[in-house]
């Protein structure tokens, strides 16, 4: 039973957007909120780019974006798309030809602003290439690159200017009878991004791609994104997310998932509940959690594990987790399975033993899920 059905204060009511496809991945409507990232290799370095796409996909990325700034990149894209386990979004700025080439190379989506690629004939050419190749489009409004006439009209980047820019691009696509698009309206300022996204969510039913742009390094960018994206997702806004970090794309995917997991919007892998530790701890909580995070990275089944230093909070947390360990005295602690006290365990065996218990539980949960899916067919 979902925790949300018994605890209404956990409910999030998602804005109703229409659904589009990014390759085989649905975005919007009642589709799960997807996690995206972007490669930072040179796109013509096919080997390095494919390796990064695969690592991101392995970490859980549903969709990966790749920059296509020149013709060499368009050529490389074809090969990358062929090898990629997930749909690829081609990131295009200004060059309409790159848009056409990327659609023909098999990109699942073009990130392109139709208002910035020149006259109507160029726009029509890109839209035709997208339509012919079953490629969707993401309009990407960015506070840092708003059109000159909007900056003159509004004086500075503001939510109204960003939404107007987005609606202008939408109009171009709709006038060309193209509806397979989603839209983002990013800013590096959390307040500006949040206000712009809220206004955008009122103004269109297109699926929304969320992001706080240029959020910063791993720690500061994670916090900024968690605040900005977290608030919007909590309000029900957002169909797909990208956390922008000056860090490895795999880190972006991990942070994206953690934000969705914190809000109960998506589940993947082991959710570790651990205490900060203090003088009462019966074992080294911090080292143990670090080791377990690494050893359990391969688990994709959604499940929970509590690692708590002592009996102050241990038994209570263990009640609500699939596997739990609570520190005790004399070099040993207590293992809890499915919320119930199970057996004593000595601290020096705990890592291997907990990994074993989690793997066993993950296999059981996966088998239950498969059986339930079969029964439902």
Binding of ligand SF4 at residue 329 (CB under 6 A)?
Answer: no
| Least distance from ligand SF4 to the Cβ atom of residue 106, Å | 51
- By beta-carbon distance, which residue lies closest to ligand SF4? 309
Closest to ligand SF4 by CB, 259 or 318: 318
Stretch that binds ligand SF4, among 32-40, 137-145, 183-191, 272-280 (CB under 6 A): 272-280
Which parts of 64-103 interact with ligand SF4 (CB under 6 A)? none
- Among residues 290, 214, 295, 296, the alpha carbon closest in space to that of 247 is found at 214
| 229 to 268: interface string for ligand SF4, x by CB under 6 A | ----------------------------------------
Beta bridge partners of 303: 270
Binding of ligand SF4 at residue 278 (CB under 6 A)?
Answer: yes
| Least distance from ligand SF4 to the Cβ atom of residue 272, Å | 14
| Least distance from ligand SF4 to the Cβ atom of residue 309, Å | 3
Give the chain as a 3 state SS string: CCHHHHCHHHCCCCCCCCCEEECCEEECCCCCCEEEEECCCCCCCHHHHHHHHHHHHHHCCCEEEEECCCHHHHHHHHHHHHHCCCCEEEECCCCHHHHHHHHHCCCCEEECCHHHCCCHHHHHHHHHHHHHCCCEEEEEEEHHHCCHHHHHHHCCCCHHHHHHHHHHHHHHHHHCCCCCEEEEEEECCHHHHHHHHHHHHHHCCCCEEECECCCCCHHHHHHHHHHHHHHHHHCCCCCEEECCCCCCHHHHHHHHHHHHHHCCCCCCCEEEEECCCCCCCCCCHHHHHHHHHHHCCCCCCCEEEEEECCCCCHHHHHCCCCEEEEECCCCEEEEEECCEEEEEEEHHHHHHHHHHHHHHHHHHHHHHHHHHHHHHC
Which of 309, 333, 358, 361 lies at the binding interface for ligand SF4 (CB under 6 A)?
309
Locus of tokens 């109703």: 16
Closest to ligand SF4 by CB, 133 or 281: 281
| Least distance from ligand SF4 to the Cβ atom of residue 313, Å | 4
Helices (H), 155-306: 159-175, 190-203, 218-234, 249-262, 285-295
How many CB atoms lie under 10 A from the CB of residue 87? 24
| Least distance from ligand SF4 to the Cβ atom of residue 331, Å | 15
| Least distance from ligand SF4 to the Cβ atom of residue 326, Å | 8
Binding of ligand SF4 at residue 287 (CB under 6 A)?
Answer: no
Which of 61, 190, 275, 354 lies at the binding interface for ligand SF4 (CB under 6 A)?
275
Stretch that binds ligand SF4, among 158-166, 167-175, 244-252, 271-279 (CB under 6 A): 271-279
Size of the site for ligand SF4 (CB under 6 A): 11
Binding of ligand SF4 at residue 280 (CB under 6 A)?
Answer: yes
Closest to ligand SF4 by CB, 280 or 344: 280
Which of 281, 332, 347, 366 lies at the binding interface for ligand SF4 (CB under 6 A)?
281
Binding of ligand SF4 at residue 313 (CB under 6 A)?
Answer: yes
Binding of ligand SF4 at residue 308 (CB under 6 A)?
Answer: yes
Which of 310, 318, 335, 358 lies at the binding interface for ligand SF4 (CB under 6 A)?
310
Locus of tokens 């894209």: 77
Closest to ligand SF4 by CB, 320 or 363: 320
| Contacts of 283 by beta carbon, 8 Å cutoff, 6+ apart | 309, 327, 333, 347, 350
Closest to ligand SF4 by CB, 73 or 326: 326
| Least distance from ligand SF4 to the Cβ atom of residue 255, Å | 25
Binding of ligand SF4 at residue 324 (CB under 6 A)?
Answer: no
Per CB under 6 A, residues contacting ligand SF4 are: 275-278, 280-281, 308-310, 312-313
């Amino acid at each position: 039973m979902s925790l949300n059905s018994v605890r209404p204060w956990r409910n999030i009511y998602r804005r109703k957007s229409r659904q589009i496809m990014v390759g085989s991945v649905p975005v919007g409507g009642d589709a799960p909120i997807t996690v995206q990232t972007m490669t930072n290799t040179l796109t013509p370095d096919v080997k390095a780019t494919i390796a990064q796409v695969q690592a991101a996909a392995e970490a859980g990325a549903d969709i990966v974006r790749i920059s296509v700034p020149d013709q060499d990149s368009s050529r490389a894209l074809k090969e990358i798309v062929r090898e990629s386990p997930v749909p690829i979004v081609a990131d295009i700025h200004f060059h309409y030809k790159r848009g056409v080439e990327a659609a023909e190379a098999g990109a699942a989506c073009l990130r392109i602003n139709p208002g910035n690629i020149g006259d109507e004939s160029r726009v029509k050419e890109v839209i035709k290439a997208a339509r012919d190749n079953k490629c969707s489009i993401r309009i990407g409004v960015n506070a840092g690159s708003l059109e000159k006439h909007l900056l003159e009209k509004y004086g500075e980047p503001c939510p109204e200017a960003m939404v107007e820019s987005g609606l202008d691009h939408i109009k171009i696509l709709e006038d060309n009878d193209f509806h397979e698009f989603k839209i983002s309206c990013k800013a590096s300022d959390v307040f500006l991004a949040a206000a712009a996204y809220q206004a955008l969510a009122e103004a269109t039913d297109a699926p929304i791609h969320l992001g706080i742009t240029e959020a910063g390094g791993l720690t500061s960018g994670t916090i900024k994104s968690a605040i900005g994206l977290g608030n919007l997702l909590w309000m029900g806004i957002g169909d797909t997310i990208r956390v922008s970090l000056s860090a490895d794309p795999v880190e972006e995917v991990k942070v994206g998932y953690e934000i969705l997991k914190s809000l109960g919007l998506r589940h993947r892998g082991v959710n570790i509940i651990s205490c900060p530790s203090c003088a009462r701890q019966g074992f080294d909580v911090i080292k143990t959690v670090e080791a377990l995070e690494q050893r359990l990275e391969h688990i994709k089944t959604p499940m929970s594990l509590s690692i708590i230093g002592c009996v102050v909070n241990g038994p209570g947390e263990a009640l609500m987790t699939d596997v739990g360990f609570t520190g005790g005295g004399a070099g040993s602690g207590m293992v809890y399975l499915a919320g119930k006290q199970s057996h004593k365990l000595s601290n020096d065996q705990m890592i291997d033993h907990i990994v074993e218990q989690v793997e066993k539980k993950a296999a059981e949960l996966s088998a239950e899920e498969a059986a339930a899916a079969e029964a439902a067919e």
